[in-house]
Structure 1
Amino acid sequence: MRDPQRTAVRQVAIFKKNQHSPNEVLEAMKQRIDSPEGRRRYSQRIGTVEPVFGNIRHNKRLNRFTLRGSTKVGTQWRLYCLVRNIEKLAGREMKK
């Protein structure tokens, strides 16, 4: 804490760059998604990206990471993605 008797300035500098309220950011994103281009891109996402996350989350039961730290969590995430990709490749080979 700052002691007015000893220091005339703040001891901790706080850098605030482009602070937007969460509502401003949310509204901007809603406008982007509601545009014709946004609707087209979002409809593509629903068909390509969301099933992958749904499979990893529900079928593989990765709704929480069991490790701590960004390096360990990143490694765990890559392992789950690797397993999914191997299963996908194995499924293609079984169809041949």
Structure 2
Amino acid sequence: MGKRHTRPSPIRSGISVDSPKRFDPGDFQLAGNGSHCLCPAGKRLYSNGSNCIFNGYAAMKFRGAERDCQPCTLRAQCLRTPEKTKTRQVAFFRGKRDGYETHTDRMKRKIDSDQDRQMITRRFATVEPVFGNLRNNKRLDRFTLRGRSKVDGQWKLYCLVHNIEKLAHYGVSQ
């Protein structure tokens, strides 16, 4: 005899029996010209950047209007956290973008060319030691201040110390 297949208990699996299924992008209707889409309640979602790229995939993003989403009766099915989220956003993927390269692919291509390889090796001799000195010798592992202007000031102070130390050790070149 085979094992008896039963559905897991909703109490043990954490599934709520009375929670409605949330809408996914398949429940939204994309307009033929791609200018908007319609939600399951029949409200219009407007384009929110039609030429977006997610991990090399071209996508069209849409967002609902606050005046439509706030009073909607299907809000609980549409949003994960309806008490926090104002409007629904949905993305329609149109497939892999032609000619799209990841940053890693572009860097590999760059390292393979002779001219760029020379540029990168020069960078190791000019820029990288400065960061290594600040991080390891000066112990700038993290910034101790908060706020953009304070962090900028702390960074400039460390760079100033680095430059003064270079002048003290090597002198001013003539």
TM-score (norm 2): 0.44
How far does the alpha carbon of each residue in 1:52-93 deviate from its partner, in whole angstroms, 9 at most, with x for none? 111110000001111122222111111100111111112234
Paired AA for residue 112 in structure 2: D
Compute the displacement of 1:49 (Å).
1.2
Q: Is there any run of 5+ residues in structure 1 with no aligned partner, and where?
A: none
After superposition, the Cα gap between the structure-2 partners of 1:9 and 1:38, relative to the gap in structure 1 and judged at 3 Å, is same
After superposition, the Cα gap between the structure-2 partners of 1:21 and 1:9, relative to the gap in structure 1 and judged at 3 Å, is closer
What's the counterpart of residue 81 of structure 1? 159
What's the counterpart of residue 67 of structure 1? 145
After superposition, the Cα gap between the structure-2 partners of 1:56 and 1:41, relative to the gap in structure 1 and judged at 3 Å, is same
Compute the displacement of 1:3 (Å).
9.2
After superposition, the Cα gap between the structure-2 partners of 1:9 and 1:86, relative to the gap in structure 1 and judged at 3 Å, is same
Stretch deviating more after TM superposition (71-80 or 54-63): 71-80
After superposition, the Cα gap between the structure-2 partners of 1:19 and 1:84, relative to the gap in structure 1 and judged at 3 Å, is same
SS at match of 1:37: helix
How far does the alpha carbon of each residue in 1:3-34 deviate from its partner, in whole angstroms, 9 at most, with x for none? 947x5325xx6436563637722101211122
State how far apart, in whole Å, the 1-side matches of 2:116 and 2:150 are.
34
Q: Is there any run of 5+ residues in structure 2 with no aligned partner, and where?
A: 1-38, 57-100
What's the counterpart of residue 41 of structure 1? 119
Q: How many residues in Structure 1 have an aligned counterpart in Structure 2?
A: 89
The percentage of counterpart residues that share the same residue type is: 46
Larger Rg: 1 or 2? 2
Of the three residues 29, 34, 44, the one matched with 1:8 is: 44
Q: Higher strand share goes to which structure?
A: 2
1:29 pairs with 2:29: no
